[in-house]
Amino acid sequence: MADSLWNLTAQQMRELIRKKEVSRVELVQAHLTRIEQTNPQVNALIETCADEALDQARQADAQHEIRTQLPLDGIPFSIKDHYDVKGMKHTEGLPARAEERSPEDEPVVRRLREAGAIIVGKANQPDLQIRWNTISHLFGATRNPRDLSKTAGGSSGGDAAAVTAGMAAIAMGQDYGGSIRVPASFCGIYGLRPSAGRVPSAPTISPLDGPPSLDFMASKGPLARCIEDLQTTYEVISGRHHADPATVPVPALHGNTDGKRPRVALMVDATGAKVTEEIRKRLNDTAALLQDAGYEVVDAQIPNAKRAPEVWAEIIGTELMEVGMPEFGHLLGESNRQHIEAMFSIYNLGSEAKRYIGALVERRKIQREVAGFMEEHPLVLCPVAGMPTPSLDFDHMLDREATIDLFDHMRNITWVNLLSLPSLALSNGIQIVGRRFHEGQILQAGLCVQESLGVASVATP
Does the active-site annotation cover 335?
no
User: What is the distance between the alpha carbons of residues 31 and 26, in angstroms, rounded to a whole number?
Assistant: 9
Confidence at residue 97, expressed as pLDDT on a 0 to 100 scale: 96
- Residue 461, in any domain of the structure: no
CATH code for position 319: 3.90.1300.10
- Residue 458, in any domain of the structure: no
Distance from CA of residue 450 to its chain's centroid? Answer: 18
Does the active-site annotation cover 155?
yes
- Residue 49, in any domain of the structure: yes
User: What is the distance between the alpha carbons of residues 230 and 171, in angstroms, rounded to a whole number?
Assistant: 9
User: Across the strands, what pairs with 175?
Assistant: 219
- Residue 459, in any domain of the structure: no
User: What is the distance between the alpha carbons of residues 10 and 224, in angstroms, rounded to a whole number?
Assistant: 9
- Residue 275, in any domain of the structure: yes
User: What is the distance between the alpha carbons of residues 90 and 108, in angstroms, rounded to a whole number?
Assistant: 15
CA angle 110, 114, 117 (to 5 degrees): 90
Instruction: Collect the ranges in the chain with pLDDT lower than 70.
Output: 1-2, 254-259
Q: Which of 78, 102, 136, 155 is catalytic?
A: 155
Residue numbers of the domain that contains 11: 2-453
Q: Which of 80, 89, 150, 274 is catalytic?
A: 80
Q: What is the SS3 string spanning the chain?
A: CHHHHHHCCHHHHHHHHHCCCCCHHHHHHHHHHHHHHHHHHHCCEEEECHHHHHHHHHHHHHCHHHHCCCCCCCCEEEEECCCCCECCECCCCCHHHCCCEECCCCHHHHHHHHCCCEEEEEECCCHHHCCCCCEECCCEECEECCEEEEECCCCCHHHHHHHHCCCCCEEEEEECCCCCHHHHHHHCCEEEECCCCCCCCCCCCCCCCCCCHHHHHCEEEEEECCHHHHHHHHHHHCCCECCECCCCCCCCCCCCCCCCCCCEEECCCCCCCCCCHHHHHHHHHHHHHHHHCCCCEEECCCCCCCHHHHHHHHHHHHHHHHHHHHHHHHHCCHHHHHHHHHHHCCCCCCCCHHHHHHHHHHHHHHHHHHHHHHHHCCEEEEECCCCCCCECCCCCCCCHHHHHHHHHHCHHHHHHHHCCCCEEECCCCEEEEECCCCHHHHHHHHHHHHHHHCCCCCCCC
Confidence at residue 206, expressed as pLDDT on a 0 to 100 scale: 86
Confidence at residue 372, expressed as pLDDT on a 0 to 100 scale: 98
364: number of Cβ within 10 Å: 10
CA-CA distances (angstroms) from residue 445 to 261, 301, 355?
Answer: 8, 19, 39
- Residue 460, in any domain of the structure: no
Please state the length of the chain. 461
The rounded radius of gyration (Å) of the Cα atoms in the chain is 21
CA angle 400, 279, 160 (to 5 degrees): 80
Number of domains in the chain: 1
- Residue 402, in any domain of the structure: yes
Q: Which of 179, 213, 238, 335 is catalytic?
A: 179
- Residue 403, in any domain of the structure: yes
